[in-house]
Structure 1
Amino acid sequence: MTTFKVLAIHTAKITELTFGKKTFPSALLKQPIEKGMFLSYTGLAEDEQTPEHHGGTEKALCLYPYDHYSFWDGWMEMRDGAALFGENITTEGLHEQNTHIGDRFEFGEAIIEVTEPRQPCFKIAARYHKPELIVRMRESGYTGFYFRVLKEGTVKPGDVLTCVERDPARVSVHEVNQLLFSSAPRASQYDRVLEAKALSKTLRPKLIQKRNQL
């Protein structure tokens, strides 16, 4: 079984961020935990989420690859010790191209399953005062991705992600990003992505609707 290093597990309380003249609630300012924490079907015990874009059973946990940090370094302010994009787990070696929708991982006492890519929203741009960040994230495909929790349990610093099952459809997170960010998606792209049975229950109906409108 392949294991991947988890560099940090992050949580945050909801705070107010400002972007231009707009102020809004966000839990992007995450910091690493220092002790074990329960991971439930809706996320880490001490992590707050704004439900309009994040959270719920289909987006219980967000991962961002440390492999991409160097891409952003020098272009925007990097904060030592903080989650770059408000991710819950920062990992090494696991990324959008080698991870599939439906892949399952053992994480501490928990079992988690990949559900969909993270779709960049204006709050990330607001955090760094970089309006162009969303476009840059889409063009690079360096989005990170979400998990649902199949088995609850305690996770702690030093735990690793161990891949216990690869989804048979082998639809990579990268493939889903290509579909989501395409200016003229093809029916074959929708059909391919929809082969992933574990695709989130929130994203699947949206893709089916768009496929039917072609």
Structure 2
Amino acid sequence: MTTYHVRAIHTAKITELTFGKKTFPSALLKQPIGREMFLSYTGLAEDEQTPEHHGGTEKALCLYPYDHYGFWDGWMEMQDGSALFGENITTVGLNERNTHIGDRFEFGGAVIEVTEPRQPCFKIAAKYNKPELIIRMRESGFTGFYFRVLQEGMVKPGDHLKLIRRDPAGVSVQEVNELLFSKSPTAAEYDRVLEAVALSKTLKPKLMEKRNQL
């Protein structure tokens, strides 16, 4: 069983944040937890998410690879001890290219399943005062991704992700990113991504609609 190291599990409550001239509600400033916590179908017990882009059963948990931290270091001011992009879990060895929609993992007493890439929003650009961050994230494909929770359970620092099932369609998170960010996607590219049965219930209808408009 392949196991991926989790460096930290992060949570935060929604607060009014001000970065430069922008003020908005967000739970972006997540900090590592120090004790066991319940992971429900809608996320970690002490975590909050603003509903317009995050949260719900299809985006219950957000992962960002620690492997990408070096890509951003030096380009922007990074903050030690916090989640770089407000992710819930920061992992080593797991990324958008070797992870597929529908891949399942044991995480402590829970079971989670990959649903879709994270799509970067203006809040992380505002946090680092880097308007071009969103474009840089899209071009690199270093977006991170979301999970749904198939089995609720307790998780704690020191728990890692154990791969228990590879999705048979084999549609990588990176393939979905390439489709989402393509200027002229083809019907074949839509059909390929839509082979992933586990694709989130929020993203799938949007892709099907765009496919039908071709």
TM-score of the superposition, structure 1-length normalised? 0.99
Q: In terms of mean alpha carbon deviation, does 18-27 or 38-47 score higher?
A: 18-27
Instruction: Kindly indicate whether residue 9 of structure 2 is the aligned counterpart of residue 17 of structure 1.
Output: no
**Superposition deviation, residue 20 in structure 1:** 5.1
Per the alignment, residue 37 of structure 1 pairs with 37
Q: Deviation digits for residues 38-72 of structure 1, max 9, x if unmatched?
A: 00000000001101100000000000000000000
Q: Deviation digits for residues 82-110 of structure 1, max 9, x if unmatched?
A: 00000000000000000000000000000
Q: CA RMSD for the aligned pairs?
A: 0.7
Distance between the aligned counterparts of 2:67 and 2:11, measured in 1? 20
Distance between the aligned counterparts of 1:117 and 1:18, measured in 2? 26
Per the alignment, residue 98 of structure 2 pairs with 98
Structure 2 counterpart of 1:110, which letter? A
Structure 2 counterpart of 1:35, which letter? R
Distance between the aligned counterparts of 2:117 and 2:22, measured in 1? 26
Structure 1 counterpart of 2:91, which letter? T
Matches within 5 A, 1:26-105: 26-105=26-105
Matches within 5 A, 1:126-141: 126-141=126-141
Distance between the aligned counterparts of 2:18 and 2:140, measured in 1? 26
**Superposition deviation, residue 19 in structure 1:** 4.8
Distance between the aligned counterparts of 2:203 and 2:50, measured in 1? 18
**Superposition deviation, residue 17 in structure 1:** 2.2
Q: Deviation digits for residues 175-204 of structure 1, max 9, x if unmatched?
A: 000000011111111000000000000000
Matches within 5 A, 1:132-151: 132-151=132-151
Structure 2 counterpart of 1:101, which letter? I
The answer to whether the 8 Å contact 1:37/1:156 transfers is: yes
Structure 2 counterpart of 1:81, which letter? G
Query: Secondary structure of the residue that 2:205 maps to in structure 1?
Result: helix
Distance between the aligned counterparts of 1:4 and 1:30, measured in 2? 21
**Superposition deviation, residue 15 in structure 1:** 1.5
Per the alignment, residue 188 of structure 1 pairs with 188
TM-score of the superposition, structure 2-length normalised? 0.99
Distance between the aligned counterparts of 1:31 and 1:121, measured in 2? 20
The answer to whether the 8 Å contact 1:17/1:126 transfers is: no
Per the alignment, residue 159 of structure 2 pairs with 159
Per the alignment, residue 7 of structure 2 pairs with 7
Distance between the aligned counterparts of 1:187 and 1:148, measured in 2? 27
Specify every segment of 5 or more residues in structure 2 that has no aligned partner in the other structure, as ranges: none
Structure 2 counterpart of 1:118, which letter? R
Distance between the aligned counterparts of 1:82 and 1:149, measured in 2? 23
**Superposition deviation, residue 21 in structure 1:** 3.7
Percent sequence identity is 83
Q: After the TM superposition, which segments of 4 or more aligned residues of structure 1 sit over 6 Å from their partners?
A: none
